[in-house]
């Protein structure tokens, strides 16, 4: 059996990229909500915004990781 081994550098770069994407997406969604006083800084809704974007980011990253075959 020939098992494919992952390149650790590529995997680290991939995960780092997705953390940046998650933070950017979460911030882009959070900023207008915060500025329009829909919720306050540090409220449960802000945490929910980042949690939901994290879940979406993790699902997307898993899907793309398989597609890129790192």
Question: Does 27 map to a domain?
Answer: yes
- With bands split at pLDDT 50, 70 and 90, how would you rate the model's confidence at 35? very high
Q: What is the pLDDT of residue 26?
A: 94
User: Domains in the chain: how many in total?
Assistant: 1
Closest CA to 50 of 36, 64, 66, 31: 31
Q: What is the pLDDT of residues 5-32, one digit of tens each?
A: 778 898 899 999 999 999 999 999 999 9
- Say what the pLDDT of residue 5 is: 76
Determine, yes or no, domain membership for 62: yes
Tell me the residue range of the domain where 58 lies.
8-68
Instruction: Indicate whether 56 pLDDT > 90.
Output: yes
Does the pTM of the predicted model rise above 0.85?
no
């Amino acid at each position: 059996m020939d098992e494919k081994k992952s390149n650790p550098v590529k995997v680290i770069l991939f995960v780092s990229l997705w953390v940046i994407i998650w933070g950017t997406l979460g911030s882009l969604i959070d900023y207008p909500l915060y500025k329009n006083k829909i919720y306050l800084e540090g409220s449960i809704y802000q945490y929910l915004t980042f949690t939901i974007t994290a879940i979406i980011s993790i699902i997307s990253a898993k899907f793309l990781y398989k597609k890129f075959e790192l």
